[in-house]
Amino acid sequence: MTMLRAERVTLGYAGRAVVHDVSLDITAGGVGLIGESGSGKTILARAFLGLLTPMAGNIWYGDQTLKKADMRKFRKDVQPVFQAEALDPRMRIGASVAEALPVRGPRAARARVPELLEQVGLDPGLAARRPHQLSGGQRQRVVIARALAAGPRLLILDEPTSALDVTVQARILDLIASLDTERLLITHNLAVVRRLCRTSHVLFAGRVVESGPTRDLLADPAHPYTRALRDAVPKLGGSPPQARGTTEAVPAETGCPFRLRCPLAAPECERPPVLRDVRGRQVACHRAEDVLVT
Amino acid sequence: MTSPGAEVPLRRSLPRIPDRFAAFGAVLIVLIVLAALMAPWLAPYPDEPHPLEGSLPPSGAHWFGTDQLGRDVLTRVLYGGRTSLSIAVSVLAVSALGGVTLGVVAGYAGGWIRDVIMRVTDVFLAFPALLLSLALAVVLPPSVNTVILAIAVTWWPWYTRLAASVAASIATRPYVDAARCLGVPAPLIVLRHVLPNSLTPVLVQISLDAGGVILTAAALSYLGLGAQEPTAEWGLMVQQGQTLFTTNWWIGTFPGLAILVTAFAFNMLGEGLRNALDPRARTVK
């Protein structure tokens, strides 16, 4: 069942749209949002968390839009896991976790904090420390413990491992994979998505350019941008990845926003592409079939 | 394998050691405050007139001499410290409390609430501070309370502006978003997260401002708009000694030096605190 759904959502700041007409469902098995910095992943996550009202379109929570939904229930069901720096630097770890507990009274909250810290693999004695006295990995575990405290059914994870070194990343991913919750994972790290998400959506310049099963997307991308993302992952012993074209996106009204960077750009790319079915996934590219055979 | 709970902390929480000028300023302030607080015990004479001992120059019996009424100037400087420091503390407390409260609300709430608060603040900032203080002090009866009110009215907008900009930045931090996602009510978020994390620059500003408040209070009293006789206040004492400077230089000089040293000490401390807490603003030496 779909717990959260974006329906033709346009988002922006100060009247300027940065995410355009995006529709996607958060389904079981984990959903990944992939894209480079500035592609609109985080702003979309903020909309799913109810922190930002769409300029157009709706976010659906079950059968109600967020505007009409019971926000108490929503806040309990949907929790964010931000980066390790998402802890108040002045609060002790115990107080930070206790703030998220849906229990009344500090005594009841204190009793549950050690249990939550143990659940994420931390020593309950760390409750008395402040964030700067913990390592990055420990802080990330605290952020997860805090999110779990509310008893959510869905976690929205925004780059939960990007500030961590590789070995700590692996442990945090193990922890996330072991949690009994649905998840929307926002990242630019394809390996993380491959591990944790059954479905993925690739964002470029605020638009979904490819959606489908993660395994297919990464094994055989149908959009040149997805392919570029995949090929940009450095390989041990291989030559460093090469950047192509300009980093700027072209306004979508004037054609495909990726065309200045696209190795397959053709005259038809001056028309805006629309999402269409191509071999079991949705792709916004005039030349998707050509991408698949090259 | 190392357990996750045993990972090595990346940062330690040692406070920065302020530079030696700031440390010197802090020591001076402690001494000045202690001297003012302990004036009844430290003062060599009661703060009363002794007509037979008027206008005596500094000597072993009267280190800072006596004024025209025979009052010991050292005694008056110690008691004057109480008045001047009380004015500074009161002005800073009232301005910071009011200014920071409004600033944090404006910074966190944003939108029309911020616009209304900041436009009112701009109106107050548009007036030259000393001129506005003078205008208020002229309208109200001269007293210590008038000085406090007159200065506080011109001082709070600076704290509002500072607190609003810091709070607006804090309001976008992920831990504030995380609290919103938990459904924590806005007033609690402000009290629990935004206010405590906005206070550091405000405290630095307070320490930098203390010297300025003491100078402004002294200026108002010097003009006869603040403390009145027989209250000992440094600005008033300078004014009383000014006309006699060529013959009885000590009457105005020692309270003037007290103002100078106190303002200087607060500036040194404030500068040091600012450098310690915000290395980008560090003064090039």
- The domain segmentation of chain A, as residue ranges, is 4-292
Instruction: Give the total number of structural domains in chain B.
Output: 1
Q: What local confidence, expressed as pLDDT, does residue A161 receive?
A: 82
Reply yes or no on whether the pLDDT at B13 is more than 70. no
Residue B56 lies in a domain: no
Q: Please indicate, yes or no, if residue B267 is contained in any of the structural domains.
A: yes
What CATH number corresponds to the domain at position B234? 1.10.3720.10
- Interface check for B178 against chain A (CB to CB < 8 A): the answer is yes
* pLDDT at position B112 over 90: yes
Q: Tell me if A185 sits within 8 A of A172, measured CB to CB.
A: no
CATH number for the A4-292 domain, one of 3.40.50.1820, 3.40.50.300, 2.60.40.10, 3.30.56.10?
3.40.50.300
b (16+ CB within 10 A) / e for B253-271: bbbbebbeebbebbbbbbb
Q: Is the pLDDT of residue B257 over 70?
A: yes
Alpha carbon distances (Å) from B167 to A85, B72, B93, B120, B198: 18, 49, 19, 18, 6
Domain of residue B210: give its range: 18-39+65-279
Q: What is the pLDDT of residue B237?
A: 93
Q: What is the pTM of this model?
A: 0.79
Yes or no: say if A9 and A19 are a contact pair by the CB < 8 Å rule.
yes
Interface predicted TM-score of the whole assembly (ipTM), two decimals: 0.86
Q: pLDDT truncated to tens, each residue of chain A (294 aa)?
A: 678 999 999 999 888 899 999 999 998 889 999 998 888 999 999 999 999 999 999 999 988 999 999 999 999 999 999 886 789 999 999 999 999 887 666 777 778 899 999 989 899 999 999 999 999 889 999 999 999 998 899 999 998 887 777 788 888 888 888 888 999 999 888 888 998 999 999 999 999 999 999 999 999 999 999 998 888 777 767 666 565 555 566 666 678 988 888 888 889 998 989 999 998 899 999 998 888 887
The predicted-structure confidence for B159-184, as pLDDT tens digits, reads as follows 999 999 999 999 999 999 999 999 99
Amino acid identity, position A142:
V
- Phi/psi at B63 (5° precision): -55, -40
Q: Is residue B235 part of a domain?
A: yes
CB contact under 8 A, B181 and A78: yes
Contact B8 A82 (CB under 8 A): no
Kindly report, residue by residue over B124-133, the tens digit of the pLDDT: 999 888 888 8
Q: Is B192 on the interface with A (CB under 8 A)?
A: yes
Residue among B13, B174, B183 minimizing CB distance to A133:
B13
Q: Say if the Cβ atoms of B177 and A82 lie within 8 Å.
A: yes
| pLDDT (tens digit per residue) in B126-154 | 988 888 888 888 888 888 999 999 999 99
Pull the structure tokens for residue B69: 């009424």
Q: Which residues of A touch B (CB under 8 A)?
A: 46, 49-51, 71-72, 75, 78-80, 82-83, 85-91, 96, 99-100, 121-123, 125-126, 130, 132-138, 141, 143, 146-147, 150, 168, 171
Number of Cβ pairs closer than 8 Å across A and B? 82
CA–CA dist A72, A195 (Å, integer): 32
Is residue B270 included in any domain, yes or no? Answer: yes
Q: Please say whether the beta carbons of A48 and A184 come within 8 A.
A: yes
Domain annotation covers residue B6: no
